A and B are shown apart, each in its own frame.
Chain A
Amino acid sequence: QSALTQPASVSGSPGQSITISCSGSGSDIGTYKHVSWYQQHPDKAPKLLIYEIDKRPSGVSNRFSASKSDNTASLTISGLQAEDEADYYCCSYASSAAFVLFGGGTKLTVL
C-alpha cells in the first residue's frame, strides 16, 4: 500500500500559476473518481480544497482547480498569493488498500 507520488516541493512567484501532480495506479486514481486535495498550513489541520476530482467546496477560491488524466491527478493554483504557501496532499480511494491512500505531500513556496 504505497502512498501516491507527489513532488516534494514546488515554488512560484506571486501572480503565477503552479501545478502539483499526484501519480497513482490503475487501482486508485486510474479507476476511481474519488480524488481529493487538501491544504495544510504549519501546525494547522488539513482543509479540503477539491473533491471528486474537480469539485470545489463552497468557500474555496476558484483559483484552485484540479483534473485527472489516466493514473495522474493534478492540482493547479492560479494567481499565486503569499497565503497559498502550505503543504498540499492528494488522496484517492484505493481498491488495493483498506480505504484510501494519501500522497506524500508537496510543499509550496511562494517566492
Chain B
Amino acid sequence: EVQLAESGGGLVQPGGSLRLSCAASGFIFSDYWMHWVRQIPGKGLVWVSRIDTDGSTTTYADSVRGRFTISRDNAKNTLYLQMNSLRAEDTAVYYCARGAWGSAVFFDPWGQGTLVNVSS
C-alpha cells in the first residue's frame, strides 16, 4: 500500500525554524516528483513546493521562496521541508503528496498532514 507519513510539526516562535519530514512507503520513491501543500485550518489548499526525482530541480510558491527549502533522501525514502524565518501566516497543516507520472499534473496520495503553529 502506498503511504506517506509526515512528522516534525509543532509550535514555533515567529522567526524560528522547523524541519518537516515525510516518510514514503509502498512505491519506488526515487521515481516520483514530490510536493508539499499546506492548508490553514478551516481554509483552502495552497501548493508550497516541489522537487524532482533526484533533487536537482526545485520550485517554490512566491510566499515561501527564499525561506523554505525542499529536499529528499532517496536512500531513506524521505522528503523534507526546511522552514526558516517562520511567520504567523505560515501556520497551517502541511501535507506531503506524491506527484503524477509522466507529464500529468496531480497529487496522489497525500499524507495525513502535520500541524505547524507559528506563535509567540
Contact = CB atoms under 8 A, between A and B. Distances in A.
Interface of A: 1, 3, 32, 34, 36, 38, 44-48, 51-52, 57, 89, 91, 93, 97-105
A95 B102 CA distance: 18
B46 A102 contact: yes
B108 A89 contact: no
Nearest to A1: B62
A91 B106 contact: yes
Contact of A45 (B44, B60, B105, B110): B110
Contacts of A98: 47, 59-62, 65
Nearest to A100: B47
Nearest to B103: A34
Interface of B: 43-47, 50, 59-62, 65, 95, 100, 104-113
Contacts of B105: 32, 34, 36, 51-52, 93, 100
A91 B106 CA distance: 8
A45 B113 contact: yes
Given A38-B45, A45-B110, A89-B44, 11 more contacts: A1-B61, A34-B105, A48-B107, A48-B109, A51-B106, A52-B104, A98-B47, A98-B59, A98-B65, A99-B59, A102-B47
B45 A105 contact: yes
